[in-house]
Amino acid sequence: MQIQEYTAAQIQAAVTAAANIADNWAQSSAQTRAELLRELGAVLVANREELVRLADEESSLGTPRLNGELDRTTFQLNGFADHIEAGNAFALTDDDAIAGAPPLGRPHLTRVRVPLGPVAMFSASNFPLAFSVLGGDTASALAAGCPVVIKAHPGHPKLSRRVFELAQTVLAKQGLSEGVIGFVEGASVDVGVALVRHPDIAAVAFTGSYQGGNALWAEANSRPRPIPFYGELGSINPVIALPAALSAQAEELAQALASSIEFGSGQICTSPGVVVLFAGADADRFENALRDALQTKKTHTMLTPGMKRNFEAGVARLTGTPGVQTVLRGESNSDDNAPPRPLLVRTSAENFIADHALREEVFGPACVIVRVKSTDEVVAVLNAVGGSLTVTLWGAENDSADVRRITRCATQIAGRVLFSGVPTGVAVTRSQQHGGPWPASTEPFTTSVGYAAMDRFLRPVALQSAPAWLAERAGRPC
C-alpha cells in the first residue's frame, strides 16, 4: 500500500479551508444539507463495483460483507438527511416571558443549538466504508452544520482517496465549497496529532484502539483551549448466559455466539470477548458446543499485518496467564497473511477479577469463558470490566431479585444492553446508544451510531429576549 504522508502545510490548508467555510455551512438550510447527504450516498451506489473492489483488495473483508457495508453507509447518509428535514437540525425550546422577577417571573428564553465548527474525523480500520470517509461521523457532523477534515486510515488508502474524490465531485456539482469535506492522510502519529492540535479544529470524532484514542484524547485536552474528543475505543462486550437460557437452548446459543465471535475475524468493536456461565452441566454443554462451532469457522486475513501480530500476542498473553485453561486454540502461524484461528479459554471469576490482563481486549476471534457460582460473582465480574459498549444478558425473561440486580449492573457499565441475539450488528436508529463508560468511550453520554450522534457537534445556547429578526430564524444560526 502506498500511503502519502501529509505535510504540515497540507494539513494547514485542509483545516483552513474548513474554517473558512464553517460559518456558511452552519447557516445552511436543512434542505441544502440533506441534498448533499443524499447525493453522497448516491455516488457511492453509482460506483459500488469499483469501491467494493478497492475495499476488498485493502481489507480482505470480502465482497458480501463490503456490499452490505456500502448499503449501510448509504442508509446512514439518507437517514441523517431525513432526520434534519424532520426539524432536528434546528430543534429548539421556547419559554415565553412572564412578568416579574425570578423565580416566578422570567424573560423570554429560547434554547437553540449552534454547530461547533470544523470536526477532525478519524477513520476506522475495520469498517472501510461505514466508519470511514463518508461514514457515520462524517454524516452526523455534516448534518449538524459542521465541515469535516477526514484523517484517512492507513489500512485502506486507495479506497479512502477514491471516496474523497467522489465526495469532491458532489460538492462541485452542488456548488458547495470543497472545504466542507477535507482530507489528510499519513501512517505516522504526527499527522493525527497535528490535526488535533490545530486551533481551528473544534471537535474530534475517533473510532479505533484504546492506545491511539487515549493518546489523541490527551492531545485534545492539553490544547490551550481544550476541545471535545468523542472517542469510541472498543470493549470486551460481556455475554451473561443465565441457567434458564442454557437449559432451554444451549446449542443454539453457542452457534449464534460462535458466528458473532468469528464475524469479521473478530475485528469488530462489539465482538463478544467474554462469556459468563454459571457452573453446571448446562454450562459444560454450552462450552462444548461453542468449541465445536468455533472449530469449523473459516476466518479471513486480518486487516493489517500489525493487527495479526497483536492478535497472536494477545493469544499468547491469555494462554500464558496462570489459572487459564485453553479450550480451543489453533496452531500459531507467523505468516501475517494467514487467517487467525479462533481462541477459547476458560477461567474462574476470581482469576478474571484479580488479573487485569484477562480483561484487555484481544482484537480478533478470541473469547474468555468465566465460570461463576453466584449472582455476586456475576456482578463482581461486570464491575471488574468497568465499561463496555455492550452487555448481553440471556435468560432474563422472568423477573427476580437476581435478574434485576444483574440487569441493573449491566446498565451501569454498558451503553447498550441486549436481552436476545448477539452484540455484533449495530442498528442505525434514533434510539441507538453506541458508547459506554470508560474505557469503552471517552464521552459515555453520547453515541457514535444513530441519529443522536449529530448532537455531539451542536452546542446549546440560550437566547434571552432575542430581537425579532433572530427569533424569526427559528433556531437556524445567523
C-alpha cell belonging to residue 362: 484481544
- Active-site residue identified among 39, 232, 262, 312: 232
Q: How many helices (H) and strands (E) does the chain have?
A: 15, 15
* Alpha-carbon distances, residue 353 vs 274, 318, 383, 406 (angstroms): 12, 14, 9, 16
232 is catalytic: yes
**Residue 139 DSSP class:** H
Q: Is the peptide bond preceding residue 423 cis, with omega within 30 degrees of 0?
A: no
The residue to which cell 470493549 is assigned: 235
Bridge partners of 441, per DSSP, are 232
367 is catalytic: no
**Residue 129 DSSP class:** T
- Active-site residue identified among 39, 219, 269, 287: 269
- The span from the CA of 67 to the CA of 70, in Å, is 5
Q: Which of 94, 47, 90, 85 is nearest to 66 (CA)?
A: 47
- The span from the CA of 104 to the CA of 40, in Å, is 50
DSSP three-state, residue 462: strand
DSSP assignments along 184-229, one per residue:
E--SSHHHHHHHHH-TT--EEEEES-HHHHHHHHHHHHHSSS---E
**Residue 183 DSSP class:** E
Residues contacting 366, CB < 8 A, separation 6+: 261, 266, 273, 311, 314, 315, 318, 342, 343, 344, 345
Q: Which of 32, 231, 23 is nearest to 116 (CA)?
A: 23
Continuous H helices in 95-156: 136-144
C-alpha cell belonging to residue 88: 432536528
Please return the burial class of 407, using the count of CB atoms within 10 Å of its CB with bins 0-12, 13-18 and 19+.
middle
Active site residues: 232, 269
